[in-house]
Amino acid sequence: MPRKPHSHHSPEFKEQALLKARHRGARSLLSLASELNMSPGTLKRWVLDSGKAARQARGEPSLALDGPAMAWSPLQRLTALQESYGLSDAALGAWCRERGVFEHQLRQWRENFCTPITPASREAGGAFRELQRQHDQLQRELRRKEKALAEVAALLVLQKNFQALLEGADK
């Protein structure tokens, strides 16, 4: 039988705790939870749930905050980069804490989005060169066959013209 969660915090207390958490500046959730004499996990869950509910109410794409940030899709990562772009250090730290993301993850994602895709290894470069060689060989063979076909067509035209001349001379 599933346990029914009982809350010993009133809705008013929860509202006040969320308000303090949203406007905590550079303070951590751990220090705020200690000040409020409550579990840091509970406070973090409240913050995440309220952020998710607010984004859904506004119809914004949801960043899956219930999973680890490294499991986010490329679209979610791009959205996170757009939201966090241009924030000051303190604001960026608060933004990251609210969404459960580390600043080094944002830097890595930005680098991944901005780095051009290139062959990852010598094998990939070697495979590309082999495909290029096969392509060139097929192009040469195609040109050779086109020339042979043009010669055969010219010979057929000459043969037809010659037969037409012979038929004309017989009359």
> Residue 167 domain-assigned?
no
Per-residue pLDDT reduced to its tens digit, 107-144: 988 888 888 776 566 677 788 889 999 999 999 999 99
Residues 154 and 132 in one domain: yes
> Residue 102 domain-assigned?
yes
- Number of domains present in the structure of the chain: 3
Q: What does pTM read for this prediction?
A: 0.36
Pick from 43, 12, 13: which is nearest to 27 by CA? Answer: 43
Per-residue pLDDT reduced to its tens digit, 77-112: 888 888 888 888 888 888 888 888 888 888 988 888
Give yes or no for a contact between 71 and 101, defined as CB atoms under 8 angstroms apart. Answer: no
> What domain range is 87 assigned to?
68-115
> Residue 78 domain-assigned?
yes
> Residue 171 domain-assigned?
no
Residues 37 and 17 in one domain: yes
